[in-house]
């Protein structure tokens, strides 16, 4: 068996693949954050909680409504997205004129409340959610046993990320959005309803988090704190990629997933820290992030 | 901006406690015993005790009734952080709390242990598994009421080796508990002629994806993967091991510390066939069924497990000791109360008759269970088949092997 740095090659390939899968979650979540920050200037600390709500929505649809995975993939983001729209209308829209810190504190508080409510209702040990039968089973890749579902997660994440990027960079709607971030008053003068567009953007960003949650439900146990472990890492991803950079957050998400996967082999104890070390280095060298414009 | 969620919550605990404590101090009457339940109410160990452990404590107070003094229960969330736990313990003891119980998460359990020793106040730990509480770090005011890593290692680990699982790989939570559990299990594996092929220590509590570690374990070709973790981590490990087809490939999982709410969270489809150790099962005998029935109005749809119901058991015993020696004497010295508790035999519906050893270890039998298949289970929470019983005298580390300085050789 060939060894690379003292690690058997098959094991290393397996870890790279797993890193890519985790990276898919980082990319999906940081994408939503980047969209919200880029267009609303809000640091959405509730993103982890909204990811968790996506998973819970999938569970509720199945347990209470008998609605399966595929419909949940469509319905859960819509439901959670609507809650996002309500939050934006009620609270967040009042903060646009203030410093970033207020938005951060508000969404952070909302995240604690949402998680607390779910914990009171459902406990902390989690709820089971089965992998849909079409995606159960596994492929034997020779060097590792690859569950079909994890492959699907990577594909779904890639499709979602590319679509979002295309919508924002290549369509007329995306052009409006980008223009509104540059100069909202001018865009409004052209007859575009900017406040409504901003509200819907927040809803869409939240829906992205919820899709991530539905995809995560069969892999991780559906529990109230599933988002809070992830959110801090995802923020580091956004900062490394460059705040507000859509492409930056996608690429950084996948890349850091791989870096983390490799750390889990060479120095497992440091696997929770490595992303923050990278963040510190990147901030020293390029304060605007790898893909950000200073 | 270095504001993290956990950091923020930790900082706010101090502020939320402040208004409560002066009131508590003012109301302090010489004739009131205060019991502080300190546990995880928001993290991965919440469902093991948390609000259920608090309810079990209230149940004990209710059943004890009024024997000439009042009993109050106060509670707090230590968030699995040693500094938060130690600070709350210090404030409580300073401001009139007479006993602290529960305290899961070994790192927190050991931190509170030092505070209790310093303040000469009784401390009954029902939630931390580290065997050091009755070993190198034992104190004259500490009682370890429930499981410890030695007992778990002996029961689950010993049984797995006997069944042919002679090569092991550990997936270990990187803190006091995981280390102690790996160490104690390794001892039993080696004593039985097995070997440990390797181990991986993952960051606690920041890990939710275990697939990487499971893959490393699999590539070691060990027959048994030892999960030296607990709570949501164990649930995620088992779920992902099933996803990656480890069990189908013939690898056995040893969930070294697992509770019935974890089985409930996994669902029998995934959990069936797992072997685990608890000291309590609600459907074990008439007495356990009776106490579970009495707890029903408080716990609703949830069944107690060995950790949550240990709060019931230890609170009852402590209150008996207080009634026996008088409130003033009990408040006077932690060492005296604990010595009185050690001198009295324990008996309750949850664990039956038992006793507390001089090193602070409460003795009770340990039971090896196998999780039922979905077909065998007739109702929710009907989960366990009893495989083997280890009597109280043999379940724990022998008195002279712990290195506790209270033990006179």
Range of the domain at B35: 5-147+286-363
Do A119 and B46 count as a contact with CB atoms less than 8 A apart?
yes
Q: A128–B266: do the CB atoms touch at under 8 Å?
A: yes
What are the chain A neighbours of B243 within 8 Å (beta carbons)? 131, 147, 149-150, 219
Reported as a single tens digit per residue, the pLDDT across A84-137 is 999 999 999 888 888 888 999 999 999 999 999 998 888 877 888 888 888 888
> How many structural domains is chain B composed of?
2
**Under an 8 A CB cutoff, do A147 and B201 touch?**
no
User: Does any domain span residue A30?
Assistant: yes
- B405 in a structural domain: no
Separation in Å, CA of B360 to nearest CA in chain A: 30
Q: What is the 3-state secondary structure (H, E, C) of chain A?
A: CCEECCEEHHHHHHHHHHHHHHHHHHHHHHHHHHHHHHHHCCCCCCHHHHHHHHHHHHHHHHHHHCCCHHHHHHHHHHHHHHHHHHHHHHCHHHHCCCCHHHHHHHHHHHHHHHHHHHHHHHCCCCECCCCCHHHCCEEECCCCEEEHHHHHHHHHHHHHHHHHHHHHHHCHHHHHHHHHHHCHHHHHHCCCCHHHHHHHHHHHHHHHHHHHHHHHCCCCCECCCHHHHHHHHHHHHHHHHCCCCHHHHHHHHHHHHHHHHHHHHHCHHHCCCHHHHHHHHHHHHCCCCCCCCC
pLDDT above 70 (res B12)? no
Question: A101, B265: Cβ pair inside 8 Å?
Answer: no
Cβ-based contacts under 8 A for chains A and B: 133
Looking at the structure, tell me whether residues B238 and B355 fall in a common domain: no
Q: What local confidence, expressed as pLDDT, does residue B18 receive?
A: 46
Chain A residues with CB-CB distance to B238 below 8 A: none
- The answer as to whether A243 is a domain residue is no
User: Given pLDDT bands bounded at 50, 70 and 90, which one contains residue B14?
Assistant: very low
The answer to whether residues B130 and B244 belong to one domain is: no
Q: How far is A242 from chain B (nearest CA, A)?
A: 16
Task: Compute the mean pLDDT over every residue in chain B, rounded to the nearest whole number.
Answer: 90
Domain count of chain A? 1
Q: Confidence band (pLDDT; 50, 70, 90) for B33?
A: very high
- On whether residue A106 sits in a domain, the answer given is yes
Say which of B47, B207, B215 has its CB closest to residue A125. Answer: B47
**Hey, are the CB atoms on A124 and B207 less than 8 Å from each other?**
no
In a domain, A35, yes or no: yes
Average pLDDT over residues A7-35: 86
CA distance A229 to chain B (A): 6
Chain B, 7 to 36: residues with Cβ < 8 Å from chain A are 8-9
Residue B266's closest chain A neighbor by CA?
Answer: A128
Interface of B with A in 263-282 (CB under 8 A): 264-267, 269-270
Q: Do A154 and A162 meet the contact criterion of CB atoms below 8 Å apart?
A: no
Residue of A nearest to B200 (CA): A268
Question: Per the domain annotation, does A239 fall within a domain?
Answer: no
Q: How far is B120 from chain A (nearest CA, A)?
A: 34
Mean of per-residue pLDDT scores for chain A: 88
- Residue A27's domain spans which residues? 18-224
Residues B358, B254 share a domain: no
Q: If you search the block for the tokens 């452990």, which residue do you land on?
A: B53
CATH number of residue B184's parent domain: 3.40.50.2300
Binary contact (B206, A229; C-beta < 8 A): yes
Kindly determine whether residue A11 and residue B216, on different chains, have CB atoms separated by under 8 Å. yes
What pLDDT, in 10s, does the model give residues B92-114?
999 999 999 999 999 999 999 99
CA distance A138 to A17: 14
pLDDT-derived band of residue A42, with 50, 70 and 90 as boundaries?
confident
- Is the ipTM value over 0.90, yes or no? no
- Residue B96 is assigned to a structural domain of this protein: yes
Residues B141, B54 within the same domain: yes
Q: Do A128 and B265 touch (CB under 8 A)?
A: yes
Chain A's closest residue to B2, CA to CA, is: A232
> Residue A204 falls within a domain, yes or no?
yes
Residue B403 lies in a domain: no
Q: Do B207 and A145 touch (CB under 8 A)?
A: no
pLDDT of B16 strictly over 60:
no
Q: Test A265 with B50 for CB contact under 8 angstroms.
A: no
Same domain for B263 and B126: no
Q: Is the pLDDT of residue B248 over 50?
A: yes
Cβ-based contacts of B219 with chain A (< 8 Å): 8, 10-11, 14
* Residue B404 is assigned to a structural domain of this protein: no
With a cut of 60, say whether residue B353 has pLDDT above it.
yes
Q: Which of A125, A131, A261 sits opposite B212 (nearest CB)?
A: A261
- Quick one: closest CA in B to A222, which residue? B265
* Domain contains B400: no
Distance from CA of A210 to the nearest CA of B (A): 18
Question: Cβ–Cβ of A219/B5 closer than 8 Å?
Answer: no
Q: What is the reported pLDDT for B392?
A: 93
Q: Is residue B265 situated within a structural domain?
A: yes
Whether the predicted pLDDT of B408 surpasses 90: no
Residue A125's closest chain B neighbor by CA?
B232
Verify that B80 and B190 share a domain, yes or no. no
């Amino acid at each position: 068996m060939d060894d690379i740095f003292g690690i058997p090659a098959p094991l290393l390939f397996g870890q790279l693949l797993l890193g890519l899968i985790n990276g898919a979650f980082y990319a999906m979540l940081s994408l939503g954050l980047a969209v919200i920050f880029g267009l609303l200037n809000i640091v959405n600390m509730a993103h982890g909680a909204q990811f968790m709500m996506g998973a819970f929505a999938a569970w509720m649809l199945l347990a209470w409504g008998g609605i399966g995975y595929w419909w949940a993939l469509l319905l859960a983001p819509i439901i959670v997205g609507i809650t996002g729209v309500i939050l934006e209308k009620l609270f967040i829209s009042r903060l646009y004129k203030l410093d970033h810190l207020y938005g951060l504190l508000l969404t952070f508080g909302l995240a604690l409340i949402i998680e607390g409510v779910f914990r009171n209702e459902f406990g902390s040990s989690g709820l089971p959610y089965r992998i849909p039968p079409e995606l159960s089973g596994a492929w034997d890749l020779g060097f590792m046993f690859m569950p079909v579902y994890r492959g699907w997660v990577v594909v779904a994440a890639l499709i979602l990320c590319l679509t979002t990027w295309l919508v924002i960079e290549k369509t007329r709607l995306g052009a409006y959005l980008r223009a509104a971030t540059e100069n909202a008053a001018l865009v409004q003068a052209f007859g575009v309803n900017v406040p409504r567009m901003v509200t819907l953007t927040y809803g869409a960003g939240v829906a992205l988090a919820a899709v991530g949650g539905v995809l995560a439900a069969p892999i991780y146990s559906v529990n109230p704190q599933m988002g809070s472990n992830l959110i801090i890492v995802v923020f580091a991803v956004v900062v490394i990629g460059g705040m507000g950079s859509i492409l930056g957050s996608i690429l950084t998400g996948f890349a850091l997933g791989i870096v983390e996967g490799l750390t889990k082999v060479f120095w497992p104890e440091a696997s929770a820290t490595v992303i923050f070390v990278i963040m510190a280095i990147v901030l020293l060298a390029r304060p605007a992030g790898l893909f950000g414009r200073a | 901006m270095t504001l993290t969620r956990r950091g923020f919550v930790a900082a706010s605990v101090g502020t939320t406690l402040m208004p409560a404590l002066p009131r508590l101090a003012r109301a302090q009457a010489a004739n009131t015993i205060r019991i502080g339940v300190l546990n995880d109410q928001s993290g991965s160990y919440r469902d093991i005790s948390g609000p259920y452990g608090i309810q079990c404590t209230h149940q004990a107070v209710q059943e004890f009734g009024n024997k000439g003094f009042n009993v109050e229960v106060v509670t707090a969330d230590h968030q699995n952080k040693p500094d938060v736990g130690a600070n709350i313990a210090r404030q409580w003891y300073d401001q009139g709390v007479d006993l602290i119980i529960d305290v899961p998460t070994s790192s927190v359990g050991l931190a509170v242990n030092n505070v209790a020793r310093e303040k000469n106040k009784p401390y009954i730990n029902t939630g931390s598994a580290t065997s050091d509480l009755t070993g190198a770090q034992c104190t004259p005011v500490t009682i370890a009421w429930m499981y410890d890593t030695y007992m778990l290692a002996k029961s689950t680990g010993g049984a797995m080796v006997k069944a042919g699982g002679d090569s092991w790989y550990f997936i270990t939570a990187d803190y006091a508990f995981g280390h102690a559990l790996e160490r104690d299990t390794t001892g039993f594996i080696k004593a039985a002629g097995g070997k440990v092929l390797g181990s991986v220590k993952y960051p606690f509590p920041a890990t939710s994806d275990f697939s990487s570690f499971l893959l490393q374990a699999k590539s070691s070709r060990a027959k048994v993967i030892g999960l030296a973790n607990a709570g949501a981590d164990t649930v995620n490990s088992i779920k992902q091991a099933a996803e990656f087809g480890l069990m189908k490939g013939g690898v056995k999982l040893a969930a070294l510390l697992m509770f019935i709410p974890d089985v409930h969270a996994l669902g029998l489809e995934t959990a069936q066939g797992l072997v685990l150790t608890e000291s309590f099962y609600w459907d074990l005998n008439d007495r356990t069924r009776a106490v579970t029935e009495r707890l029903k109005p408080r716990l609703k749809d949830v069944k107690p497990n060995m950790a949550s119901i240990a709060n019931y058991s230890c609170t009852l015993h402590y209150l008996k000791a207080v009634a026996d020696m008088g409130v003033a004497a009990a408040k006077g010295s932690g060492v005296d109360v604990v010595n009185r508790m050690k001198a009295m035999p324990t008996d309750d519906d949850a664990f039956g008759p038992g006793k507390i050893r001089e090193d602070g270890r409460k003795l009770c039998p340990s039971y090896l269970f196998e999780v039922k298949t979905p077909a065998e289970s007739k109702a929710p929470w009907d989960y366990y088949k009893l495989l083997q019983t280890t009597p109280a005298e043999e379940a724990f580390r022998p008195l002279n092997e712990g290195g506790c300085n209270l033990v006179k050789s």
